[in-house]
Structure 1
């Protein structure tokens, strides 16, 4: 468990209905430039960056929405997204958005999940002007961001609170998260991590359960998940447990482990995803291609 503590410690440093694709014209060349610090809500933290594909596409491209990590209390789109992701996914012809959200202790984890859903709703509402296909979106998160992405993908109250349905997300990609079952994570936490979890999830078992994605897998859920983890016991155990619970309710789930332990492996999955020689890049590419294929 001490290694897990170093993992998160390292990270600390570190609207309208969707438009059908055929109704959307390809965006003009002027649209193919990054748009940064776009406000998706009235609060200072509610900002996102939008990166269109590197080259113009014949039809509006799919969108990958990224949620950064940082132990629920640190990190931002500016320091915890990973440059390789942006370069790679926009080079593959996808649009890419990375969001900020309010942080603990100034906000609750419930509010953080709502910020994720609010950002998705704002992107859907502005899909035409940004130039992506709102019918082909995937939510991706790393570490604490993986927990939030999993929560939004399994507990419908967050998307429903923005007049969105879970099936408006084609899928969810989870990058080395572990708090999919919060009570189990807290029970196994060591002296370093327990205060961090308590700050985020409190001491009420009912609230801890409500903030556990695994507690919401009875459905409805997003229908496709890719769950990746490095070789650490808690991440492996919780990834497999979440996958089994989702499969039991009909979601299509792939789980894959990669070399790397402790802080180094955990950070590498975030920073190196998108690099051609990082093994997880090919796995994510294959999954995205299949997930964004015409239904």
Structure 2
């Protein structure tokens, strides 16, 4: 029962951090309405919400694209993103988008990753009208969303399938995910999680390996990762293994653990991220500041 329900936490509220934009001195307040239920594809599930920054800068702001969790079969952009996350990022001068994707069992995990990449491509194509900088984008995910973000950031077929390159993402933030090595994760699964993993990843070892971000770290990969975890034995082990594999291939990786255990800690990291008293907020803020700095 080590991993009780950690992926299903995507159904719960999240919270996220933001950092002060470089051009804070030039910020002036503006009132821009968020844009909701924007279609990035033809299917009903292929929708995203876009939240512009509360403040405007001389230059177009960076974008954070958030991928919700929920065990690959639950959750959506409305119940699994978190108001703290939206408030924190947009008040700091960032644009934020949060994306829906098709869910298991009606879709495969491969199709979910395709949806995430399709959302990135749609945002790039509409960057001018939405008013953000498509050359400064970060992909962030929690729980099952962290697995999908890691997969899109390591297996080039998803971005390439949208005629995008991996280096169009400045970085990837993984919030207490696992299943970075699917076969190892399934071997660690307790009675509660085993059926969830089986529904998502099936029984074919070759497919399980293909859906493992760690299997694609030989490159090309997104060049910068921030991997955060709470004190779940299997999650911490998966995070450390992915970090080591990415570093070995030249990616810049920061790995950090935080207090919190089991489902409670897993949910809290997402829900509280963006709150001033969340220890993870400062870590994400620092990483974003460095990642979005001029090259």
TM-score (norm 2): 0.93
The 5 A counterparts of 1:127-276 are 127-276=127-276
Q: Deviations over 1:95-127 (max 9, x none)?
A: 000000000000000000000000000000000
Unmatched 5+ residue regions in structure 1? 15-28
Aligned: 1:43 with 2:43: yes
Q: Deviations over 1:207-264 (max 9, x none)?
A: 0000000000000000000000001101110000000000000000000000000111
Report the counterpart of residue 90 of structure 2 in structure 1: 90
SS of corresponding position for 1:89 = helix
The structure, 1 or 2, with the larger RCO (C-alpha pairs under 8 Å, 6+ apart) is 2
Query: 1:230–1:265: 8 Å Cα contact kept in structure 2?
Result: yes
Query: 1:31–1:52: 8 Å Cα contact kept in structure 2?
Result: no
Unmatched 5+ residue regions in structure 2? 14-28
Deviation of 1:7 (Å): 2.4
Report the counterpart of residue 290 of structure 1 in structure 2: 290
Q: Deviations over 1:67-99 (max 9, x none)?
A: 000000000000000111100011111000000
SS of corresponding position for 1:255 = strand
Report the counterpart of residue 6 of structure 2 in structure 1: 7
- Counterparts of 1:205 and 1:151 in 2: how far apart (Å)? 17
Report the counterpart of residue 23 of structure 1 in structure 2: none
- The RMSD of aligned alpha carbons is 1.2
Query: 1:32–1:56: 8 Å Cα contact kept in structure 2?
Result: no
Q: Deviations over 1:163-203 (max 9, x none)?
A: 00000000000000011000000011111111110100000
Deviation of 1:13 (Å): 5.5
